[in-house]
């Protein structure tokens, strides 16, 4: 089936653009955004995913303010043109790799937004993330990451919050490929206990930004790592064509985590970027923890890629103190942190997802909190 995109010279296969190169039901194409100030007074996040082999598009927007997490979710039938709108939630690419706008129109949940992301750095391409199990491709995707500032407004109920780009920064990513989403196809392979250990730390400083990403097995064996020091754009009109514009790719990365007892969340942490014989150690101070279920990750009802028919819109409002930290839907978190690197002070997030054993940090069981 042809779409207007077929008039552009962007084909990667002999098929029309609307037809994926794979029939894998786990094929996806996603936007992710977060925004926050340095003191945890405001945090918001958004996600939108397209799942062409499932016929699904879904999105969510969440704002955390005054100790409460407010979310709106939408899921519906994907359009042939892969429209970046579902229900009241929309994403607009104003200028590729430069400026994007996220909107949430009036809806019954009371959550609203009209915010614009403006790049502070080039977009960087993380190494391709691939893992197989039982000779099946479980994960194979590419992600770009970019640091920026936000302007506009977000709201919930009768509250409207101004988003000032002088104080509110954040990170966006775009990922596409194959990753487990929605209901999974039954197989004849034996079940295995879940095991994931993932850290992702995009940090903002005045003159540069830094990046760390790590996947590890239960014994600490590392099957993916990435570390970067990325320049802040000196010219606001400069192109943002990736790390070759001056980013410094690290030889390796490290981390230290002190878990809060009874949880799988940081109490304090540090990350290390190692390159050219120099170790850059950055200490992280916890400010606020956001539960990624607020934008659909591991949500018991609004899980990414799940089928909700032609269109369904819903929401939830949960006080931060009411989340059970070892609930499977609450285990995936982003912690807003203050970052200290020599004489630099910055802000960012440390994303943490830990299912199953992880011997280096003392985690055991599938969801058991750290015993201390």
What is 165-207 written as a DSSP string? TTT-EEEEEEEEEEE--SSPPP-SSPP----EEEEE--EE-SS
Q: Say whether pLDDT at 30 is over 90.
A: yes
pLDDT at 51: 97
Give percent above pLDDT 70 in the chain.
Answer: 97
Write the DSSP symbol of residue 370.
P
Rg of the chain over Cα atoms, rounded to whole angstroms, equals: 20
Q: Say whether pLDDT at 17 is over 80.
A: yes
pLDDT at 247: 67
pLDDT-derived band at 372, boundaries 50, 70, 90: confident
pLDDT at 151: 98
pLDDT at 104: 98
Give every CB contact of residue 267 below 8 A, 6+ residues apart in sequence: 258, 259, 260, 286
Q: Is 244 helix (H, G, I), strand (E, B) or coil?
A: helix
Q: What is the pLDDT of residues 272-320, one digit of tens each?
A: 999 999 999 999 999 999 999 999 999 999 999 999 999 999 999 999 9
pLDDT at 136: 80
Contact, 42 vs 168, CB < 8 A?
yes
Mean pLDDT, the chain, rounded, equals 93
Contact, 49 vs 32, CB < 8 A?
no
Q: Say whether pLDDT at 240 is over 60.
A: no
Distance CA 253, CA 279 (A): 9
pLDDT-derived band at 236, boundaries 50, 70, 90: low
Please state which CATH number belongs to domain 21-181+194-361: 2.40.370.10
pLDDT at 234: 82
Q: Say whether pLDDT at 243 is over 60.
A: no
Any idea what the Cα angle at residue 35 is, between residues 66 and 110, rounded to 5°?
50
- Bridge partner list, 188: none
pLDDT-derived band at 241, boundaries 50, 70, 90: low
Question: Is the whole-model pTM more than 0.75?
Answer: yes
CA distance readout (Å), 289 to 26, 245, 297:
29, 33, 15
Mean pLDDT of 146-150: 97
Domain map (residue ranges) of the chain: 21-181+194-361
Give every CB contact of residue 182 below 8 A, 6+ residues apart in sequence: 25, 26, 51, 54, 56, 303, 304, 305, 306, 307
pLDDT at 52: 95
pLDDT at 94: 96
Cβ neighbours around 342 below 10 Å, total: 8
Q: Say whether pLDDT at 187 is over 90.
A: no
Q: What is the pLDDT of residues 201-210, one digit of tens each?
A: 999 999 999 9
């Amino acid at each position: 089936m042809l779409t207007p995109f077929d008039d552009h010279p962007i084909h990667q296969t002999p098929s029309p653009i609307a037809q994926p190169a794979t029939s894998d039901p786990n094929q996806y194409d996603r936007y992710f955004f977060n925004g926050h100030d340095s003191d945890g007074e405001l945090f918001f996040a958004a996600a939108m995913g397209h799942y062409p082999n499932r016929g699904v598009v879904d999105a969510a927007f969440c704002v955390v303010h005054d100790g409460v997490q407010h979310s709106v979710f939408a899921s519906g039938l994907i359009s042939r043109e892969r429209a970046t709108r579902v229900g009241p939630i929309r994403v607009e690419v104003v200028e590729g790799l430069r400026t994007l706008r996220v909107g949430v129109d009036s809806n019954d949940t009371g959550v609203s937004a009209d915010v614009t992301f403006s790049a502070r750095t080039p977009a960087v391409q993380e190494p391709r993330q691939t893992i197989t199990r039982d000779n099946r491709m479980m994960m194979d995707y590419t992600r770009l990451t970019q640091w920026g500032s936000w302007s506009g407004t977000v709201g919930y109920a009768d509250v409207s919050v101004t988003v000032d780009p002088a104080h509110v920064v954040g990170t966006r990513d775009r990922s596409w490929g194959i990753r487990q989403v929605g209901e999974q196809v039954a197989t004849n392979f034996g079940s295995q206990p879940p095991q994931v250990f993932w850290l992702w730390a995009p940090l903002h400083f005045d003159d540069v930004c830094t990046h760390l990403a790590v996947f590890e097995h239960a014994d600490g064996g590392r099957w993916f790592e990435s570390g970067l020091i990325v320049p802040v754009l000196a010219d606001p009109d400069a192109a943002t064509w990736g790390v070759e514009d001056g980013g410094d790719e690290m030889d390796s990365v490290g981390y230290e985590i002190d878990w809060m007892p009874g949880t799988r969340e940081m109490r304090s942490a540090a990350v290390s970027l190692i390159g050219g014989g120099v170790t850059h150690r950055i200490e992280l101070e916890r400010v606020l923890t956001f539960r990624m279920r607020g934008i659909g990750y591991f949500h018991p009802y609004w899980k990414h890629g799940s089928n909700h028919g032609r269109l369904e819109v819903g929401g939830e409002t949960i006080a931060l103190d009411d989340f059970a930290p070892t609930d499977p839907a609450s285990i995936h978190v982003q912690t807003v942190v203050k970052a200290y690197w020599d004489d630099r002070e910055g802000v960012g997030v440390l994303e943490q997802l830990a299912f199953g054993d992880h011997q280096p940090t003392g985690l055991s069981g599938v969801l058991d909190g750290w015993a201390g």
